[in-house]
Amino acid sequence: MKALVLERVKQLSLRDVPLEEKVGEGDVRVKIKACGICGSDVHYYLHGRIGDFVVNGPMILGHEAAGVVVEVGAGVTHLKAGDLVCMEPGIPKAFSAETMQGMYNLDPGVFFWATPPDHGCLRESVVHPARFCFKLPSPLTAAEGAMVEPLAIGMEAAKQARLQGGDTVAIVGAGTIGVMCALSALASGASRVYIGDIMEEKLNVAAKIPEGETPVSPVIPINTKKTSLVEAVREQTDGRGVDVVIEASGSAAVYPDFFRTVRKGGRAVLVGMPNGAVPIEVPFLQGQGIRIYTVFRYCNVYPRAIALLAGGKIDLKPFISRTFPFEDSIAAYEYAAAGHPDTVKVMIEL
């Protein structure tokens, strides 16, 4: 079948790949209709590796996808041919210690699309376990379904943050994941979200988050090139700080200051992944009673994310910045790799 293949660093080809995938018991075959380009895809394209994950041979890219079920394996009862579904890209070992403990996202033996050596899903069709395929109710589109994957990271951050109605939240970084965290926080009951970034274009995108029926916008963009996030948040909260801070930039430069946006007894959630060690002021965190949580992918949040989309609590359409047809996949990756600051998600449709 035709697929987008990363041949080597900065070299892509759209070509036929000899893949033979049989639909086994509990599986479905899905014709891919939409696939988003993730930052990790771009990183593999530009650098050929992320940490210990190294591309040592041709690899099909893509892990944010949705499509139509075209074949159903034995034992599958909740899906049928013609259903529009989105898919979790990771398939954990069913009986690993982590899976059995309810943390399948931490399974060291997980198969994960477009993570070396596993092929991704930017191709004509995939065979996938039905238990990791989720039906998208009308009128959700395949493109919105593909965006459930990055939204799931935001949902996991909100879950780890133990958000309650009325909480205030500060988010470091207004990139794709920062925006998904803001959407998830608001949908989880946050009353106000302060989101900081050094790029005005990204903050303008974050300002697209619907204001709802309140006279005051729940999203407060803060240009951290002009104003300290800590100072801005402290000023806005009468010196107390927010209930939760979510670090979504992955920049080592923001450590350890962003912890000072949080009130005593508040929570910090680490989503972004810095390259290497970062400084943390342990005595300060202890004195403030700040609890720290971390996010690695997601676990059991897809159904909640889809429910919020279907119920109109989250709208992802404004954040699909540009769409390319499958035959222009290489151009789509070149555009995504250029790093346009006003772009949230580049989508490829098949």
Dist CA 282 CA 50 (whole Å): 28
What per-residue confidence (pLDDT) applies to 248? 97
Domain-wise residue ranges, the chain: 2-147+316-349, 151-294
Dist CA 342 CA 239 (whole Å): 32
Query: Could you give the C-alpha distances from 178 to 159, 209, 225, 248, in angstroms and in order?
Result: 15, 12, 17, 5
Is residue 45 within 8 Å of 10, Cβ to Cβ?
Answer: yes
Over its length of 350 residues, how does the chain's per-residue pLDDT go in tens digits? 999 999 999 999 999 999 889 999 999 999 999 999 999 999 999 999 988 899 999 999 999 999 999 999 999 999 999 999 999 999 999 999 999 999 999 999 999 999 999 999 999 999 999 999 999 999 999 999 999 999 999 999 999 999 999 999 999 999 999 999 999 999 999 999 999 999 999 999 998 786 544 445 799 999 999 999 999 999 999 999 999 999 999 999 999 999 999 999 999 999 999 988 999 999 999 999 999 999 999 999 999 999 999 999 999 999 999 999 999 999 999 999 999 999 999 999 99
What per-residue confidence (pLDDT) applies to 20? 86
Q: What is the DSSP letter of 9?
A: T
What per-residue confidence (pLDDT) applies to 21? 92
pTM: 0.94
Please measure the distance between the N-terminal and C-terminal CA atoms of the chain and give it in whole angstroms: 13
Architecture of domain 151-294: 3-Layer(aba) Sandwich (3.40)
Alpha helices in the chain (DSSP H): 39-47, 97-100, 142-146, 148-160, 176-187, 200-206, 229-236, 282-288, 302-310, 329-337
- Considering the domain 2-147+316-349 in this protein, what is its CATH number? 3.90.180.10
